[in-house]
Copies of this chain bind each other. A is one copy, B any other.
Amino acid sequence: MHRMRVEQLESPLSVQGKEVRHLHVLRLKPGDTLAVFDGQGLEAEARIVELAEFSATLELGEAREVAREHPQAVTLAVALLKGDKLSDVVRQATELGAARIQLLQTRYADVPDIGDNKLSRLRRVAEEAAKQSRRAVVPEVLAPVPLARLPEVSCGFVAHPGSGERLLDHLDWSAEVWLASGPEGGFSEAEIELLRSRGYRAITLGPRILRAETAPVALLGAIAATGV
A interface residues, Cβ below 8 angstroms from B: 2-5, 18, 22, 37, 39, 66-68, 92, 95-97, 132-135, 161-164, 166-168, 189-190, 193, 203-211, 214, 217-228
Contact = CB atoms under 8 A, between A and B. Distances in A.
Nearest to A21: B193
Given A5-B161, A164-B3, A168-B168, A95 B221 contact: no
A138 to B, nearest CB: 13
Contacts of A68: 207-208
Given A217-B92, A221-B218, A221-B219, A133 B209 contact: yes
Given A161-B5, A217-B218, A95 B224 contact: no
B162 A209 contact: no
Most chain B CB within a 10 A radius of its CB, from A132, A166, A225 = A225
19 contacts: A3-B164, A39-B161, A68-B207, A68-B208, A95-B208, A95-B214, A96-B206, A135-B208, A166-B225, A206-B224, A206-B227, A207-B228, A208-B224, A217-B218, A217-B221, A218-B218, A218-B225, A219-B221, A221-B221
Nearest to A213: B92
A227 B204 CA distance: 5
A133 B135 CA distance: 33
Given A2-B164, A218-B220, 7 more contacts: A37-B162, A95-B214, A204-B225, A205-B225, A206-B225, A222-B222, A222-B225
A203 B225 CA distance: 8
A168 B96 CA distance: 17
Contact of A4 (B162, B219, B223): B162
A26 to B, nearest CB: 11
Given A3-B162, A162-B37, A189-B18, A218 B224 contact: yes
